[in-house]
Structure formats: C-alpha cells, structure tokens
Amino acid sequence: MTIRIDNIGIVVEDLGPVIEFFTELGLELEGRAMAEGEWAGRVTGLGDQQVEVAMMRTPDGHGRVELSRFLKPEVIADNRRAPVNALGYLRVMFEVDDLDDALTRLARRGAELVSDEVVQYENIYRLCYIRGPEGILIGLAQSVRQ
C-alpha cells in the first residue's frame, strides 16, 4: 500500500500576505484557482461554495500547503489563536537549513515566536513554534546532527 500526505489545508482571510509569508519561508506558488460548483460542495459537505485556492509547494516537490479563502459560504469559526494544547489540527512543521535566517526573514512578514526562545532538543534539532500572518501556527526545525 502506498500512502503519502498530498497537502495540508489552511483557511485564511487574505491570500496575499499568507502567500508572501510562505514564499519567504521557501515554498513556491504552484498555482491559484477557484474551487466552486456542485462537485466542490459534495467534497466538503458545504453545498454551494466558492473558494479561492492557492497551492504552495515545498522546493523538493513532496509537500504542499493549500491556502483557501472562502467567499461562499462565509467562515463560521475562527481557531487561529487556539493555544498549542487545543484539540484538533494544530500546526505544520517545516525543516529548514538555517533556523536563525528563517526567523529573521519571517519576522519581516510579521512572524513571532510563540515562546521566548528557540529550544534545542538533545543533539538532534533546534525547534520553535511561530505565529505568522492571521495567527497561523507553524513549527520550524533545524537539524543539528553532526
């Protein structure tokens, strides 16, 4: 049996700043499109819907983040500021080559550390969680293995 993660979905209010944020992280915009019509509503269970979608791809081509902006029906809940111990989907983690550089670049796009430090886990990873535009929570990890 073959299984792989195709993408992680994030619902946002404004695609522009979020696309810029993930581009700064190193993802590439694969494309933008509208998802609407009867077929789309059957997939999501929302019925008649209209959603603007941007697909971001990791440089290795193996991972994607699907950014969605719902035009119809309107968004009914907002979980973006949920604490890291909230039930349900929480965050996506990216491994980066240079964590300090990534944090500097993402800070220019409004990213802030969730805690007040980057933590080193044994001699394996340097790790942190950050909140980006619209409060999106992501994890960043840098391997420090020799």
DSSP per-residue string spanning 63-79: -EEEEEEEEESPP----
Q: Is residue 2 part of a domain?
A: no
Regarding whether 21 and 61 lie in a shared domain, the answer is yes
* Residue 66, in any domain of the structure: yes
For 134, the domain range is 92-143
In this model, does residue 25 exceed pLDDT 80?
Answer: yes
Residue 93's CB: how many other CB atoms inside 10 A? 12
Is the CB of residue 12 less than 8 Å from the CB of residue 69?
yes
20 and 66 in a single domain? The answer is yes
Asked if the structure places residue 82 within a domain, the reply is no
CATH number at residue 16: 3.10.180.10
User: Could you give the number of structural domains in the chain?
Assistant: 2
13 and 57 in a common domain: yes
Say yes or no to pLDDT of 67 above 90. yes
pLDDT, one tens digit per residue, over 93-140 is 999 999 999 999 999 999 999 999 999 999 999 999 999 999 999 999
Rounded to whole angstroms, the Cα distance separating 24 from 120 reads 23
Is the CB of residue 63 less than 8 Å from the CB of residue 4? no
Residue 124 lies in a domain: yes
> What is the reported pLDDT for 95?
95
Residue 55 has pLDDT above 90, yes or no: yes
Task: Say what the pTM is.
Answer: 0.90
Asked whether residue 61 falls in the same domain as residue 97, the answer is no
In a domain, 85, yes or no: no
45 belongs to a structural domain: yes
Which pLDDT value is given to residue 33? 95
